[in-house]
Amino acid sequence: MDGLTQLHKQLVNESAEEDQGRQSRGGTSDTRLANPGMVSPGNENVHAAPNSANTTENATNTAKRRDCPAPSLEKTESSRLPSVRKILERVPISRKANEIIMASWRSSTCKQYQSYLTRWEHYCADNNIDPHNASIENGINFLTHLYENGLGYSAINTARSALSMVIDTSGVTFGTHPLVTRFLKGVYEMKPSLPRYTHVWDVRTVLTYLNTLSPLRDLSLKVLTLKLTTLLCLLTGQRCQTIAKLNTEYMQKTQNSYIFTIRETLKTSKPGRHLEPIELREYKPNPNLCVVEHITQYLELTTSLRTHGPHDQLLISFAKPHNPVSSSTIGRWVKSVLKDAGIDTSEFSGNSGRSASTSYYKASGLPLADILKAGGWTNSLTFAKYYNKLINNNFGTTVLEQYSNKE
């Protein structure tokens, strides 16, 4: 089979294969922050507030007027998916077209695929198999090898997608072959991929702890950074990846809010569907939990630290040389705050804030439509399966009402 035919088969079936492994995880669409008073709860409430719809639209237009640097094709190094690149080299297209096609796989996907393709090459070397001329049986035996080494359904499904890019079959891709799909169903029955959490911590516990970190003006840069990061995660319902992409270059300050436009692709971004601007509103009843005041103070403390490089990312390291931080660092920061608040961090990760906050708002009576917008879900089943967890303790209504009643 020629390279063009093989590539066509792989690209046509790749999306369907990956969807089988994450069909219930959903994507993202229109997004608003879902906490009345502290954040904008949805388009309905945004339009109800004076001029807030216009400010959001202005923020979007302002960001659109700025030049957003596109990812450089040079980032698609030859080391990314070399097996796939070899196939492309047999296709009569230009070098630039080759690079553009390689850019269609995000770096995170390439890292995942390459990990299994490297294992595949080692497996083939140990078993005298030509990795570029292997059979369906060879591929299934390799997946069995992964299973025997402790890998579960999710990992093996990713390996299945990776092999589909290099194993040439007649008529169907490796991943959609009846034997392979039946094998994956067997793996799921024996090692099912289940949600990580069946319950989650109470948001009030963490907010109560954050409330003790005061007064704002006396907080060190480290404490302020950790507190602000945790507030951002709790009050937006977003992943750490999204929080890491909040950028001062695409930030607008209004009279009582900050509006951030995300100008980079996210885990769930798709053509024609991306996260709407994130609006963070002030919370006057309790300045200790007002995210707007914390952002303002944080920007004041870090302005002088951003002069040594293009540090437009909102969150930067509190340690020298104060570089922008990754999503994994943000996760570690949030996890440390959870631990200080008394949460069992041996059970919950830094990313559990997304599940905790949205579950809390659901239990507090916030409309499901607003929660779905806040979290960026298009499918309510995704929220119900992966994020709507039981909270261990009893609780009242919303976070704001709890603290307003105390005052």
DSSP string across 195-236: -S-SEE--HHHHHHHHHHS--GGG--HHHHHHHHHHHHHHHH
What pLDDT, on the 0 to 100 scale, is given for residue 124? 94
For residues 80 and 128, is the Cβ–Cβ distance under 8 A?
no
For residues 143 and 94, is the Cβ–Cβ distance under 8 A?
no
At 400, the pLDDT band (50, 70, 90 cuts) reads very low
How many other CB atoms sit within 10 Å of the CB of residue 99?
Answer: 18
The winner for highest mean pLDDT among 94-98, 113-117, 223-227, 387-391 is 223-227
Question: What is the per-residue pLDDT across 260-292, written as a single tens digit (0 to 9) for each?
Answer: 988 776 666 566 655 678 888 888 888 898 999
Distance CA 38, CA 36 (A): 6
| Residue 365 pLDDT > 60 | no
Least confident of 10-14, 125-129, 192-196, 306-310: 10-14
Average of pLDDT values for 326-346?
A: 84
What pLDDT, on the 0 to 100 scale, is given for residue 334? 86
| Residue 314 pLDDT > 60 | yes
Helix, strand or coil for residue 270?
strand
| Residue 253 pLDDT > 50 | yes
From residue 117, alpha-carbon distances to 78, 96, 110, 213, 331 in Å are: 15, 24, 10, 48, 28
At 23, the pLDDT band (50, 70, 90 cuts) reads very low
Q: Going from the N-terminus, what domains does the chain have, and what CATH number goes with each?
A: 96-194 (1.10.150.130), 205-397 (1.10.443.10)
| Residue 32 pLDDT > 50 | no
Quote the strand ranges of 72-211, DSSP E: 199-200
Residue 43 identity (one-letter amino acid): N
Q: Pick the more confident residue, 136 or 95.
A: 136
How many other CB atoms sit within 10 Å of the CB of residue 332?
Answer: 16
Question: What is the per-residue pLDDT across 188-235, written as a single tens digit (0 to 9) for each?
Answer: 999 877 655 455 567 778 888 999 999 999 999 999 999 999 988 888
| Residue 22 pLDDT > 70 | no
Q: Annotate 30-78 with DSSP letters as a single string.
A: S----SBTTB---HHHHHHSTTHHHHHHHHHHHHHHS--PPPPGGGS-T
Q: CA torsion, points 97, 102, 103, 104, in degrees to nearest 10?
A: 100
What pLDDT, on the 0 to 100 scale, is given for residue 368? 34
Q: Pick the more confident residue, 306 or 135.
A: 135
Average of pLDDT values for 92-110?
A: 78
Least confident of 245-254, 272-281, 366-375: 366-375
Kindly give, in sequence order, each residue whose CB lies less than 8 Å from that of residue 80, ignoring residues fewer than 6 positions away: 102, 105, 107, 110, 114
H-helix or E-strand containing 258?
strand 257-260
C-alpha 106 chain-centroid distance? 13
- Residue tagged 């060879």 (tokens): 138
The winner for highest mean pLDDT among 2-6, 74-78, 85-89, 285-289 is 285-289
H-helix or E-strand containing 281?
strand 278-281
Region for residue 161 given its phi and psi (left: phi exceeds 0; alpha: psi -120 to 50; beta: otherwise): alpha
Which of these, 111, 103, 163, lies nearest to 137 by C-alpha position?
A: 163
What pLDDT, on the 0 to 100 scale, is given for residue 379? 40
Average of pLDDT values for 132-142?
A: 92
What pLDDT, on the 0 to 100 scale, is given for residue 202? 72
Distance CA 129, CA 353 (A): 46
Quote the strand ranges of 45-177, DSSP E: none
Helix, strand, coil fractions of the chain, as percent rounded to 5:
55, 5, 40
Distance CA 314, CA 329 (A): 14
The winner for highest mean pLDDT among 61-65, 68-72, 222-226, 331-335 is 222-226
From residue 407, alpha-carbon distances to 37, 93, 134, 286 in Å are: 16, 68, 69, 9
For residues 341 and 349, is the Cβ–Cβ distance under 8 A?
no
Q: What is the DSSP letter of 323?
A: -
Q: How many Å is the Cα radius of gyration of the chain?
A: 24
Tokens of residue 207, six digits: 């907010």
- Residue tagged 């879900």 (tokens): 377
| Residue 363 pLDDT > 60 | no
Residue 196 identity (one-letter amino acid): R
Helix, strand or coil for residue 288?
helix
| Residue 298 pLDDT > 70 | yes
